[in-house]
Amino acid sequence: MTTKTRQYNLLAVIALLLLVPACDFNQKAGLSRKAKQQLSLAEARTAYRLAHGAQKETEKALILAEGVITTYPDFAEAYVLKAKIQLELNLHERALASLDKAIELAPDLAEAHLDRGLNLAALHRQQHAQIAYAKARELYTVRLKKKPWDLDPKLNLALISHLQGNTKSALDQVNLLLASDGADSQAAVQLKQVLEAEMAGASNGPWSVITP
């Protein structure tokens, strides 16, 4: 598996983790500020997910994310989405700046720490990346204890295990998740496929070694 393929597979899984319910983006009138924030973010997330790695469409999604930030400059999740798109566009330093802002606004936002680790790894700053992964694991574990039914922290904890070099543990976690919760999560199924490919023949280590 080539490094480029490995990076694309990772980004595909990240995009799947952004799956959101269908929204009517024209029905914002009368909503609370928080609801409008989430609806605007969902619109940008959907554009990113549907871009499928196409440069122009991904850049359009970035513009949407920046528009959310312009309207809601204190919305940490919007900075995280902006950073995800910047990561896909190989704008790693800019993505780190976006994530630093997200963490400044919401220090306990696990997703921001995880994505910070991915960008640091892409810049070959492995030691700092591992620190970020460890912080993300801590925060996702806390979230899972509060909401043991929540699929998101379970998937991300499995992904972090892989990023920390334990692909077998990550695959075991995903298999357990699919067995207990049912194989109805597209993200879980795709993560399982990628991890199995890694176990079958990857020789370059886990995704903690990602290059543009």
CA distances from 67 to 1, 43, 82, 105 (A): 37, 11, 10, 18
147 DSSP 8-state letter: -
* 143 vs 62: CA distance, rounded Å: 28
Scan for tokens 């799956």, then name that residue.
19
pLDDT in tens, 168-207: 999 999 999 888 855 457 888 889 999 999 888 754 444 4
Q: Which two tokens stand for residue 210?
A: 């990602």
Is 18 within 8 Å of 45 (Cβ atoms)? yes
| CA nearest neighbour of 185 among 140, 154, 145 | 154
Q: Which residues contact 26 (CB under 8 A, 6 or more apart)?
A: none
| CA nearest neighbour of 77 among 35, 112, 113 | 112
Dihedral sign, CA of 50, 55, 58, 59?
negative
pLDDT in tens, 49-80: 899 889 999 999 999 999 999 999 999 999 99
For residue 52, the model assigns a pLDDT of 83
> At the topology level of CATH, where does 3-200 sit?
1.25.40
The predicted model scores a pTM of 0.81
For residue 20, the model assigns a pLDDT of 40
For residue 44, the model assigns a pLDDT of 94
Residue ranges covered by each domain of the chain: 3-200
**Using alpha carbons only, how large is the chain's radius of gyration in Å?**
17
| pLDDT exceeds cutoff 80 at 123 | yes
For residue 56, the model assigns a pLDDT of 93
Is 49 within 8 Å of 58 (Cβ atoms)? no
For residue 126, the model assigns a pLDDT of 95
pLDDT in tens, 133-148: 999 999 999 999 999 9
φ, ψ of residue 182 in degrees (nearest 5): 90, 145
Scan for tokens 């400059």, then name that residue.
73
Q: Which two tokens stand for residue 38?
A: 């989430």
